[in-house]
Structure 1
């Protein structure tokens, strides 16, 4: 299954979500691969730093671009192939969406983040898509208001919310480890919907 993680806005947790989802998939006994479609190469850097530290990621991270995404087989040879998209690059984002079985739109529960989420939702109308709330302060009015607003607009939203945690922020450049902070639940939700 190929999952594209995209949002036209930067800083929403796309790369972290891609790596954490692949790590959670691997921990659950699945094969995984991350396709790094962001020219900044953050996912590739993450993998290289972890490998240099002697604790390599348990899955490959492969740089790709719009052209190579368009040429990829519709059936990846791994259980989970996760595409990490750049912000604000329509050609790459569109190619990644077209190559996907489903799209995850990571969004922080705040006004500007949700406003930019609508632009991304407009791009993915032809693929199954759901919003993943990331960096959320659990139990806050902001989170509740965001969830209610998305429900009122009938937006598909993962029931698992990724909390704002120092452990998640500190995982960059390291091999992620349990706890998965909801990413394992996101995989389960996708499997129930698409498999």
Structure 2
């Protein structure tokens, strides 16, 4: 079954791009054909899979502006079975350029509707709830929300869940919550454990079983242009993302948000 997943959180620094890159790698490694779309103007997911800045055109910007097809913009990554649509810095201007365009929140949805898609499509969203993120939410069937194990973890989550509900009621009724993913969990830190416990108490089964530990190898990997699973397969972070892939492959297609 084909799945389309937006990885979103308007709060920055929560491990969103790390999750997009390494989950996409893990899914491809499991044998599933996978496409990663970088929809963040910072282009960190593109860096994380080794695509140099001078090799990012055509990109997700051209997809949204209608000057390239998905086949034009996607290219194979280092991992067999994984393709990537990179992000170019031009994407930062797309929100302004598309303001007057009809059905501006459905640009990506239309592109994907006209394309032959792989088993999984993952979209790395920017840290905002603007037009780029709305395009992603309109184009997918589920949302994965990385949530950092810190004191302010739940701040902003309510707003994101409300946005998901609004998108569901205004044009994408199939949109569901795949799950909340606890990231940067430090078992040596009692506060980290307490935050995780509080989040699970508040959200129950909406929180995925897998947790992503705070792990220096996850932080080092992007500087080498590699997903952590290629940089150090045996590190705790890589093992966690492999576990996450196994969990979501077996997850139901929908959860109540």
Structure 2 residues without counterparts, runs of 5 or longer: 56-76, 92-104, 169-174
Any idea what the Cα deviations from partners look like across 1:67-118, whole Å, max 9, x if unmatched? 5422122986211111000011421112212212211111111122321233
Corresponding residue for residue 33 of structure 1: 35
Answer whether contact 1:8 1:119 (CA < 8 A) is retained: no
Aligned residue-pair number:
191
Following superposition, the deviation at residue 20 of structure 1 comes to 0.1
Corresponding residue for residue 78 of structure 2: 57
Alpha-carbon separation, structure 2, partners of 1:16 and 1:190: 16
User: 1:134 aligns to what SS in structure 2?
Assistant: strand
Q: Is 1:11 equivalent to 2:13 in the alignment? A: yes
Alpha-carbon separation, structure 2, partners of 1:122 and 1:48: 34
User: 1:174 aligns to what SS in structure 2?
Assistant: coil
Q: Is 1:144 equivalent to 2:189 in the alignment? A: no
Q: Is 1:70 equivalent to 2:109 in the alignment? A: yes
Answer whether contact 2:153 2:195 (CA < 8 A) is retained: no
Answer whether contact 2:6 2:123 (CA < 8 A) is retained: yes
Could you tell me the TM-score, scaled by structure 1's length? 0.85
Could you tell me the TM-score, scaled by structure 2's length? 0.66
Distance 1:120-1:169 versus aligned 2 partners, 3 A rule: same
Alpha-carbon separation, structure 1, partners of 2:126 and 2:28: 24
Distance 1:184-1:101 versus aligned 2 partners, 3 A rule: farther
Answer whether contact 1:43 1:61 (CA < 8 A) is retained: no
Alpha-carbon separation, structure 2, partners of 1:75 and 1:29: 21
Cα RMSD of the aligned pairs, angstroms, is: 2.5
Alpha-carbon separation, structure 2, partners of 1:14 and 1:146: 18
Answer whether contact 1:2 1:76 (CA < 8 A) is retained: no
Query: Considering only CA atoms, is the larger Rg found in Structure 1 or Structure 2?
Result: 2
Distance 1:90-1:28 versus aligned 2 partners, 3 A rule: same
Corresponding residue for residue 226 of structure 2: 174
User: 2:20 aligns to what SS in structure 1?
Assistant: helix
User: 1:113 aligns to what SS in structure 2?
Assistant: coil
| Residues 8-17 or 147-156, more deviating | 147-156
Following superposition, the deviation at residue 140 of structure 1 comes to 3.4
Answer whether contact 1:34 1:61 (CA < 8 A) is retained: yes
Structure 1 residues without counterparts, runs of 5 or longer: none
Flag the structure with more relative contact order, 1 or 2, with Cα contacts below 8 A and sequence separation at least 6. 1
